[in-house]
Amino acid sequence: MPQPQFILDYTGNKYHESKETEKININYDKYETIIEPFGGSFGFSRYLYEKKGLTHLNYIIYDYDEDLINFYNYFKDLINNGEHLAFIDEYNNEVKKMTENCIYEKDARFLNIKKVKNFLNTYTQKNIFIMYLIKKNHFKSMTFCTPCLKKNCGFFELIKNATFIHSPFENIDDAILNDKKTFVYLDPPYIATDNSTYEIPFNINEIFKKMQHIFKTTDCLMVHQYNFLLCVAFEDKKQIQYEKRYGGTTKKKTKHVFFYNF
Ligand SMILES: C[S@@+](CC[C@H](N)C(=O)[O-])C[C@H]1O[C@@H](n2cnc3c(N)ncnc32)[C@H](O)[C@@H]1O
């Protein structure tokens, strides 16, 4: 089984794909702060921090998913108190218990929902973050704590130093984004795509209008699945396409585009 490189198996994670940004000349010396308004598992920031060694920058991660941001801030406290490895063990023990309690149906890909619900009901608030992790991982990639995660992973350090803020992108004050020393990485929900995996509704028009605006004021890089209408809407921006290969059994390939203005 491949080793996960993060604590969450996050849909749309851009950690590996950020290597494609090497095709663009980005002078990181100009910046003090990296902002990911659509943070998710902040793959781009992790890439900069871990792979490019840009550990001196400030990283600000936003997301409108409050549970996710609460989880990061909780995990950050655990790291600061040296309790995160114990937390990981606790998580893995819970997963083990669930497996032993046969929450899985015979075919291990499917869960017995009734048993899962019973299990969740017996859970106390104290473990809410563990349950969040387990739920978000959809019980798929069960244990996140492989031996590689026991070592001092780069992202522990990044989580410790980064700022995590719960906010819809639409509400982020323009002044925060509009700074010459700030670089904004935008990985929004895609337009004209099935966005039903997002649990919280959002206004895609407002998101794209605000991004158009930020592109006028701040150094930005946006990543999006290839979409000819978007290429027209952002035609005055620089564009680079790349091929994205999906893992797993599908072996699907799609075209993606970077839009940027620096
Ligand atoms: C494509 S994913 C980003 C993945 C991320 N780049 C990574 O490496 O994991 C989009 C993220 O935007 C968040 N999101 C969706 N709509 C939002 C909004 N209106 N404001 C802020 N975040 C939003 C989702 O919760 C999700 O985490």
Condensed to tens digits (0 to 9), the pLDDT of residues 24-64 reads 999 999 999 999 999 999 999 999 999 999 999 999 999 99
In this prediction, residue 65 carries a pLDDT of 86
Pocket test for ligand 1, best of 10, 17, 21, 64 (most atoms within 8 A of CB): 64
**Is residue 76 pLDDT above 70, yes or no?**
yes
The closest-lying atom of ligand 1 relative to the alpha carbon of residue 14 is 8
- Tens digits of per-residue pLDDT, 140-175? 444 454 444 555 678 889 999 999 999 999 999 999
| Ligand 1 touching residue 67 (CB < 6 A) | no
DSSP state of 29: G
Q: Which atom of ligand 1 is nearest to 202's Cα? A: 19
Nearest by Cα to 9 from 244, 187, 248: 248
CA 187–ligand 1 middle distance (angstroms): 7
Q: Is the CB of 10 under 6 A from ligand 1?
A: yes
Q: What is the pTM of this model?
A: 0.85
Domain boundaries, the chain: 14-64+167-260, 85-147
**pLDDT average, residue stretch 9-26:** 90
Mutate which of 5, 47, 63 for ligand 1? The one with the most ligand atoms within 8 Å of its CB, which is 63
Nearest to 103 by CA among 144, 140, 136, 145: 140
pLDDT in tens, 103-131: 555 554 455 555 555 655 565 555 666 66
User: What distances in angstroms separate CA 75 from CA 87, 108, 142, 150, one per listed residue?
Assistant: 9, 29, 18, 15
Two structure tokens written together for 160: 């410790």
The residue contributing the CA closest to ligand 1 atom 1 is 12
Task: Report pLDDT digits (tens) over 178-200.
Answer: 999 999 999 999 886 766 666 66
- 14-64+167-260 fold: Rossmann fold (3.40.50)
